[in-house]
Amino acid sequence: MDCDKCDREAVMHAAYSGLHLCDEHFRRSVDKRVRRRIREDDLLSSSATPDDPETWLIGLSGGKDSVVLTKLLHDTFEEDPRVELVALTIHEGIEGYRDESLAACEELAADLGIRHEVVTYEEEFDLRMDDVVEKDPENMAACAYCGVFRRDLLSKYAEEFGADKLLTGHNLDDEAETALMNFLEGDVAQTAKHFDASLAPFGERDDEATRSDQDHFVPRAKPLRDVPEKEVALYARLADLPAHITECPHSSEAYRGEIQDLMLSLEDNHPGTRHSIMAGYEQLAALAADEYGAGEGDRELVECERCGASTTRDLCRKCALVDAIEAA
């Protein structure tokens, strides 16, 4: 099958748009969607100048999403002195998993000439996820611990590096799954927070509404959120990027797995489902955010007495978990 834009051979067919695209036109279309998302979200502040650039911190795990995001941001802003990119990799202490993806991150950052920082749970919290899973003092899934620690470090280092924005590699499938989960769980407050935290354009966000327990606050964005997961994977392969594709051995988001299967089957039978979910969800989330407003009414945030992160308690969730793991 030929490309719909030229006479080269197509490398992909997007059922939701009907388009067949060759390597070059496919990559251009991904690039275009990411640039449009950056524009529509007002990601680059009008006050950024070559003398006073914005710093954008990219959460670089070494998986396909964050690797493709880093490459696209690099290509978009390579010649633009108003943006400085810094990549941050978090090593959770999972045997046989993160070491390889860390090598991929280092290779990519060196290729692109991007500043790359690495932090570890071991150095930060004196723990490794492999041990946390063994001890499991709160009887929770591994990802529930890991997510708390990861969010803490992303926020902490975004602040430490003077980052103006924190960018993650969530793709269209991730976002549509989150939307569907919020809906199926009836979680309107989370829907409102999702809007203010990463869906609304920057000028329209209610930053106070997204401050929560254990967050140091840096605004977030997901520039890949219009690109389906399969296309991110194809981009990584065609661009020969050093992405590391191995599942974490502690991966335990069983409910999300069910939603993923449901979404794939809906998309197969009704191409365009993910796009339509997100189009409707964004409108509903905006209404929910209007209704909930800043701080959901009665939260009073104070500083964690140990680490200084904002919290509604004496100790933030991360410090409380570290204590529980140490005591186990």
Choose between 38 and 232: whose C-beta lies nearer to ligand SF4: 232
H or E element: which one contains 311? strand 310-311
Binding segment for ligand SF4 (CB under 6 A), chosen from 10-18, 46-54, 220-228, 244-252, is: 244-252
- 142 binding ligand SF4? (CB under 6 A): yes
- 92 binding ligand SF4? (CB under 6 A): yes
- 60 binding ligand SF4? (CB under 6 A): no
User: Of these, 67, 104, 146, 197, which contacts ligand SF4 (CB under 6 A)?
Assistant: 146
CA pair distance 170, 276, nearest whole angstrom? 17
Choose between 95 and 111: whose C-beta lies nearer to ligand SF4: 95
Binding segment for ligand SF4 (CB under 6 A), chosen from 5-13, 141-149, 166-174, 189-197, is: 141-149
- 120 binding ligand SF4? (CB under 6 A): no
User: In whole angstroms, how far apart are CA 50 and each of 44, 55, 85?
Assistant: 12, 12, 13
CA pair distance 122, 127, nearest whole angstrom? 5
- 280 binding ligand SF4? (CB under 6 A): no
Choose between 230 and 250: whose C-beta lies nearer to ligand SF4: 250
Alpha helices in the chain (DSSP H): 23-40, 64-77, 98-112, 121-125, 129-135, 142-160, 172-184, 188-194, 207-210, 229-238, 254-269, 273-292, 317-327
- 230 binding ligand SF4? (CB under 6 A): no
Burial of 169 (0-12, 13-18, 19+ CB in 10 A): buried
Residues 55, 162: contact at Cβ < 8 Å? yes
Choose between 40 and 95: whose C-beta lies nearer to ligand SF4: 95
CA pair distance 279, 281, nearest whole angstrom? 6
Residues 83, 77: contact at Cβ < 8 Å? yes
Choose between 112 and 248: whose C-beta lies nearer to ligand SF4: 248
Binding-site size, ligand SF4 (CB under 6 A): 9
- 143 binding ligand SF4? (CB under 6 A): yes
CA pair distance 6, 29, nearest whole angstrom? 14
- 73 binding ligand SF4? (CB under 6 A): no
- 153 binding ligand SF4? (CB under 6 A): no
Binding segment for ligand SF4 (CB under 6 A), chosen from 40-48, 176-184, 199-207, 245-253, is: 245-253
User: Of these, 81, 147, 162, 293, which contacts ligand SF4 (CB under 6 A)?
Assistant: 147
User: Of these, 82, 230, 250, 256, which contacts ligand SF4 (CB under 6 A)?
Assistant: 250
- 257 binding ligand SF4? (CB under 6 A): no
| Count of C-beta atoms within a 10 Å radius of residue 312 | 14
Give me the phi and psi of 286, to 5 degrees please.
Answer: -65, -40
- 239 binding ligand SF4? (CB under 6 A): no
The CA-to-CA distance between both ends of the chain, in Å, stands at 60
Give me the phi and psi of 71, to 5 degrees please.
Answer: -65, -45
Tell me which residues touch ligand SF4 (CB under 6 A): 92, 129, 142-143, 146-147, 248, 250-251
